[in-house]
Amino acid sequence: MSKLGNLGARLHRGEISYDFIGHRKLWYGISILITITAIVGLAVRGLNMGIDFQGGAVFTTEKTSVSVSQAETYAEDASGHTAVVQKLGNGTLRIQIAGMDTTQSDEIKNKLAEDFKVDPEKIAADLVGPSWGDQIANKAWQGLAIFMVLVVIYLAIAFEWRMAIAALVALIHDITITVGIYALVGFEVTPGTVIGLLTILGYSLYDTVVVFDSLKEQTKDITKQTRWTYSDVANRSINGTLVRSINTTVVALLPVAGLLFIGGGFLGAGTLNDISLSLFVGLAAGAYSSIFIATPLVADLKEREPQMKALRKRVLAKRAQAAAEEELAEARGTASDGSEEATPAVVGPRATRRRPSGKRR
């Protein structure tokens, strides 16, 4: 811990910091690049929609000795459609038959049971009509839209509209990336994926909101001082909450990783795997966007305000003056206090730590 704790302390004191705001163009660029890749991938490759979205059936057998290729033949004979068979971690077979009518399912199931020499009641079946997936997807879109509207309203009230917009952009960014990765890698999209994707909504914002909260607190009296511009303060609040952001992301990702490991390794496929996969991707994107996209975006928007412009001018003027004075002072070889608005603190790094309006955090 001491290493990390130390890092936390140094971040807190501002001894080390990364200029997130200053490099924002770089990160914007990266994000735009990823987003474009995602969109292109989505357009070119499309999403690999699972059975739930096309209609069809998924049968899961008990542990069996029948081989995959054999099972494929059985399934194709029984249904007259192409079948995809997977052997799962626990020795069971998962047989997917797309495009099949649900009304034939019982026949197919019985035939399969005969082929596999098991009791039909021992075969788990998941039959989906062709429009069920659409309904889930439609509802999900609807939920997404409603949530976005509500959350923008909420953030606009709790914080301010600029932050709401930045959060929204970050959110869209996360979802685009996640969907793009699904398109590019070709993961199967199932209702579980949709659940995961929708959870990202809450999570991505959760993270963003914590950073914004600290930003809001630190910039409350920003116009009353002339030391820092909005961007400077924003940068410091990202750095200040960095440890928390990392911890939060790690702690959120760990259980999801557990799910993914168990879902993928033990069960092979299914709801657990689907939810955790999209969550994993989305959480990672969410952590990234709240630090690299949302806050710099707020800073950008804020800097356009006349007040903040004026502040920036004052700050720059002051810095120039201070620099000049320092030069002058050095030239004269006398000590000078430099600034009159705050009590001169101890020399050294502490001066750089001074918070706006002489207040800590």
Partner 1 sequence: MSWPPARRPGAQRPEREYEKVAAPKRGRSASAQSKPGRSLALILIAIVALTGGMFLSGHTTPRLGIDLAGGTSITLEAKADQGSAINKANMDTAVDIMNRRVNGLGVSEAEVQTQGDKNIIVNIPKGTNSKEARDQVGTTAKLYFRPVLAQDATGPAAPSASPSPSASGSSSASPSPSASKSGASGEKATSSSPSASATTQGRAVTDALKADASPSASASASSSPSPSASSSSAAGNTADAKLQAQYAALDCSKKAARTKAGEGVKPEDATVGCGEMGGVWYKYLLGPAEVAGTEVDKAQAVYNTQTAAGWQVTMDFNKSGSKKFADITAKLAQNTQPLNEFGIVLDGEVVSSPTVNETISGGQAQISGSFTQEEAQSLANMLSYGALPLSFQEQSVTTVTAALGTDQLHAGLLAGAIGLALVVLYLVFYYRGLSVVAMASLLVSGILTYVIMALLGPAIGFALNLPAVCGAIVAIGITADSFIVYFERIRDEIREGRSLRPAVERAWPRARRTILVSDFVSFLAAAVLFIVTVGKVQGFAFTLGLTTVLDVVVVFFFTKPLMTLLARRKFFASGNKWSGLDPQSLGAKPPLRRTRRPAAPVETKEA
Q: Scanning residues 115 to 144, which ones bind partner 1 (CB under 8 A)? A: 121-129, 131-132, 135-136, 139-140, 142-143
Beta-carbon contacts of 325 under 8 Å, excluding residues fewer than 6 positions away, are 336, 338
Q: Which of 68, 84, 165, 257 binds partner 1 (CB under 8 A)?
A: 257
Q: Which of 30, 32, 250, 317 binds partner 1 (CB under 8 A)?
A: 250
**312 to 341, contacts with partner 1 by CB under 8 A?**
none
Nearer to partner 1, 203 or 292 (CB): 203
Contact track, partner 1, 148-187, x by CB under 8 A? --xx--x--xx-----------------------------
Strand duo 188-189 + 48-49: pairing: parallel
Residue 16: which H helix or E strand, with range? none
Nearer to partner 1, 29 or 258 (CB): 258
**221 to 240, contacts with partner 1 by CB under 8 A?**
221, 240
Nearer to partner 1, 68 or 257 (CB): 257
Closest CB 323 distance from partner 1, rounded Å = 25
Closest CB 163 distance from partner 1, rounded Å = 11
**268 to 307, contacts with partner 1 by CB under 8 A?**
270-272, 275-276, 279
29 binds partner 1 (CB under 8 A): no
State the alpha helices, DSSP H only, in the chain. Answer: 2-13, 24-45, 51-54, 68-79, 105-116, 132-158, 161-185, 191-218, 230-240, 242-261, 271-289, 295-303, 306-332, 350-353
Answer yes or no: are the C-beta atoms of 188 and 133 closer than 8 Å.
Answer: no
Nearer to partner 1, 316 or 345 (CB): 345
91 binds partner 1 (CB under 8 A): no
**49 to 88, contacts with partner 1 by CB under 8 A?**
52, 60, 62
Q: Residue 265 gets which letter from DSSP?
A: I
Q: How far is CA 280 from CA 9, 173, 189, 271, 274, in A?
A: 29, 15, 14, 14, 10
Cα(170)–Cα(174) distance, integer angstroms: 6
Cα(232)–Cα(309) distance, integer angstroms: 13
Q: Stretches 29-37, 211-219, 296-304, 316-324: which one binds partner 1 (CB under 8 A)?
A: 211-219
Answer yes or no: are the C-beta atoms of 180 and 42 closer than 8 Å.
Answer: yes
Q: Which residues, in sequence order, are bridge partners of residue 56?
A: 98, 128
Q: Stretches 34-42, 208-216, 304-312, 320-328: which one binds partner 1 (CB under 8 A)?
A: 208-216
Q: Stretches 3-11, 71-79, 295-303, 333-341: which one binds partner 1 (CB under 8 A)?
A: 3-11
198 binds partner 1 (CB under 8 A): yes
Answer yes or no: are the C-beta atoms of 66 and 100 closer than 8 Å.
Answer: no
Packing angle between helix 230-240 and helix 2-13, nearest 10 degrees? 160
Q: Stretches 24-32, 176-184, 213-221, 295-303: which one binds partner 1 (CB under 8 A)?
A: 213-221
